[in-house]
Amino acid sequence: MNAMDDDPQMDELVKKLLKRNKRAIAKAITLVENHPEECELFIRKIYPHTGKALVVGTTGPPGSGKSTLVNNLALEFRRKGKTVGIIAVDPSSPFSGGALLGDRIRMDELSSDPDVFIRSMGSRGNLGGLSRATMDAIRVLDAAGFDLVLVETVGAGQSEVEIVRTAHTTIVIGIPGTGDAVQAIKAGILEIADIYVVNKSDRPGADEIARELRLLLTLDPHAKDEDRWHVPVISTTNLPPIDGISKLADTILEHQTFLNDPKNAGLALKQEMTRRKNEIHEIIKVEIFENMLTSLIGKQEWEKILQDVITKKTDPYSAARSIMDPLFR
Amino acid sequence: MNAMDDDPQMDELVKKLLKRNKRAIAKAITLVENHPEECELFIRKIYPHTGKALVVGTTGPPGSGKSTLVNNLALEFRRKGKTVGIIAVDPSSPFSGGALLGDRIRMDELSSDPDVFIRSMGSRGNLGGLSRATMDAIRVLDAAGFDLVLVETVGAGQSEVEIVRTAHTTIVIGIPGTGDAVQAIKAGILEIADIYVVNKSDRPGADEIARELRLLLTLDPHAKDEDRWHVPVISTTNLPPIDGISKLADTILEHQTFLNDPKNAGLALKQEMTRRKNEIHEIIKVEIFENMLTSLIGKQEWEKILQDVITKKTDPYSAARSIMDPLFR
């Protein structure tokens, strides 16, 4: 333990967090979101208490009923006796901590439950830092002892993909009426889904899109491998009688059983190794870059180089090389 | 000029590209997409010929009729006598160069036009490299002398935002029926749009969403500044009689006039400086990272560190520090 690790206030926060104190949880997430330096020490302290929660990522386009679906899923897991943390990530929103993503149903039915914690996270203009902060926020909820952490995020862009890659199980949501199965490809289904959900399946065309998706999934060259997880397509509705949610919850647990099955040669561990490797990569990339660049080049030199690029005296690649040159000599 | 710059085959390609030879354009884009090393030299060669094209980025969720809108916009600019290059970027698609994103109308009406070039680009699993490749593909079309380069991309995630940030004018598309104006915020309107389009405005609710958007846009604290571009909301349809496209084309040109207006104190130049700075940053980040990391740590050492992280002997931050330590000593 370093000398700087000795921070009684932080130790107090960790202690309360481990007891699942809601104020401590909120404070801890604010810390990982807004205070990168303290965050590092804080994560060091809570890291040994993590790794127990099942992390479920959910992604889908705006308007796909994602938040309501995640609410219903949380209620379903509560009925099964599980404690649930929810992180609603919105890379395009400058808002954090508020209730923009939390609709009224969520607030009413879930917020008052002592075994549920809900938090929304926005980008505050810092897209790169969002996946980093989200990963650490998941850790906060994990350390607080929630059985499940549900992460929802909009769309299927790079930061969303990064965010859902931190999950053990990834759900991709689509809805009928926004196009056909080709749109599903566009939404990234083939790449990142462990479970595909056709939400709002009370709408016309739902059976058709589910059928098309199943067909598409059989086109995967590995579709017939026995030792492989076959992405199921589950139809759900957000309207009463809420349909399919129970099946979805069961399928999530089945996916976990599959990953942890000794027959599958430590798939869960292998995935965990990849996740941690990517994470360490990311930390190093940001750190090296920030430390190096500021030491390599001053503001005036920057101005000069940019001028040269704009006036076509040089090009961006050559400019980058000239800045980096001192490093590789 | 370096000795390695002397590559007669590449010089031939550049020569043909500058004459807007379609095969040369296709070959050049494949080069920037798949051959990072040659790409650098190639961009050095064509860079002096770039900077003339007006680059228009278009983004919106799957199912918003983006491709058809971009087609119609291309046809409209052709009617105005402009040459048009189109790049359809799909970060979630593993396909490149093909016609997945090019629907039949596009193929029929545009592909045979000698003054139009269309290319789709997928991620091939390399999300980070996609915005890099897209930027260079835009340069290829720019050097080939197209008056306009239209870039379309799905969604509003990080890589899409990066891609549209390379554009001079950014169009964000929404459609009625997928939610209200809050969804528009989620789609990133406040952050990246220069022009907001409500497409499929023949659908019910179109006027309502346009009205809500205009209201939202007035909430921007700078909404009343006179020297600021005020994001217009334009309603369009993809069905005949195609509506609003002509207005959209005019608005794009107005936005350019605005950016280049001497009254606006070199806004266009300022934005260009920022774009180039971000680009050089990116090149350095990737380069430093790849060069450093491989020299810093061997495969066996990696295994050991990952094991320690998994078994909680250490945490990801401390692991990253231990790898970086030799650099900062």
Query: Would the pLDDT of A220 be above 70?
Result: no
* Strand order through the sheet with A84-90: A116-122, A84-90, A148-154, A54-60, A169-174, A195-198, A233-235
- Compute and round to an integer the Cα radius of gyration of chain B: 22
Residue B82's SS3 state is coil
Overall pTM > 0.90? no
Instruction: Give the model's pLDDT for residue B63.
Output: 74
Instruction: Give the model's pLDDT for residue A45.
Output: 92
Cβ B75 vs Cβ B165: under 8 Å: no
Contacts of B269 in chain A (CB under 8 A): 310
Instruction: Give the model's pLDDT for residue A80.
Output: 95
Contact A283 B316 (CB under 8 A): yes
φ/ψ bin of A144: left (φ > 0), alpha (ψ from -120 to 50), beta (otherwise) = alpha
Contacts of A305 in chain B (CB under 8 A): 280
Give the tokens for residue A295: 């030491």
Q: Which residue in B92, B104, B238, B302 has the most chain A C-beta atoms within 10 A of its own C-beta, making it the best mutation to test that interface? A: B92
Task: State which H helix or E strand residue B311 sits in.
Answer: none
Task: State which H helix or E strand residue B158 sits in.
Answer: helix B158-165
Question: Sign of the CA dihedral A247, A249, A252, A254?
Answer: negative
Contact A320 B283 (CB under 8 A): yes
Q: Cα separation of A190 and A85, whole Å? A: 27
Q: Which residue in A288, A300, A306 has the most chain B C-beta atoms within 10 A of its own C-beta, making it the best mutation to test that interface? A: A288
Q: Cα separation of B143 and B146, whole Å? A: 8
Of residues B191, B276, B310, nearest to A309 (C-beta): B276
Of residues B50, B284, B328, nearest to A293 (C-beta): B284
DSSP of A200-267? STTSTTHHHHHHHHHHHHHTSTTTT-TTS----EEE--SSSSP-SHHHHHHHHHHHHHHHH-GGGTTH
Query: Would the pLDDT of A242 be above 90?
Result: no
Out of A77-91, A107-121, A128-142, B209-223, which region has the weakest mean confidence (pLDDT)?
A: B209-223
Q: Cα separation of B286 and B274, whole Å? A: 18
Which of A106-120, A231-245, B56-70 has the highest average model confidence (pLDDT)?
A: A231-245
Give the tokens for residue B233: 């909301």
Give the gap in angstroms from C-alpha B269 to the nearest C-alpha of chain A.
Answer: 8
Which residues in chain B land under pLDDT 50? 1-3, 94-105, 125-127, 156, 180
Other Cβ atoms less than 10 A from the Cβ of A122: the count is 21
- Find how far residue A308's CA is from the centre of its chain: 40
Of B166, B179, B203, B221, which Cα lies nearest the Cα of B50?
Answer: B166
Of A191, A175, A89, A171, which Cα lies nearest the Cα of A132?
Answer: A89
Residues A114-126 have a mean pLDDT of: 76
Give the gap in angstroms from C-alpha A22 to the nearest C-alpha of chain B.
Answer: 24
Is the pLDDT higher at A103 or at B16? B16
Instruction: Give the model's pLDDT for residue A31.
Output: 92
Give the tokens for residue B321: 């520090």
Query: Would the pLDDT of A289 be above 80?
Result: no
Give the tokens for residue A252: 């999530």
Instruction: Give the model's pLDDT for residue B100.
Output: 43
Contact B159 A157 (CB under 8 A): yes
Instruction: Give the model's pLDDT for residue A323.
Output: 82
Q: Which amino acid is at A80?
A: K
Contact B306 A191 (CB under 8 A): no
Domains, chain A, ranges and CATH?
Answer: 52-264 (3.40.50.300), 281-328 (no CATH)
Residues A205-229 have a mean pLDDT of: 79
Contacts of B11 (CB under 8 A, 6+ apart): B45
Contact B156 A293 (CB under 8 A): no
Instruction: Give the model's pLDDT for residue A159.
Output: 59
Instruction: Give the model's pLDDT for residue A166.
Output: 84
Contact B61 A281 (CB under 8 A): no
In sequence order, the β-bridge partners of residue B244 are none
Answer whether the bond into residue B241 is a cis peptide, omega within 30°: yes
Contact A92 B327 (CB under 8 A): no
Instruction: Give the model's pLDDT for residue A103.
Output: 45
Band of pLDDT at residue A174, cut at 50, 70 and 90:
confident
Give the gap in angstroms from C-alpha A164 to the nearest C-alpha of chain B.
Answer: 13
Contact A316 B93 (CB under 8 A): no
Is the pLDDT higher at B267 or at A236? A236
Residues A274-279 have a mean pLDDT of: 84
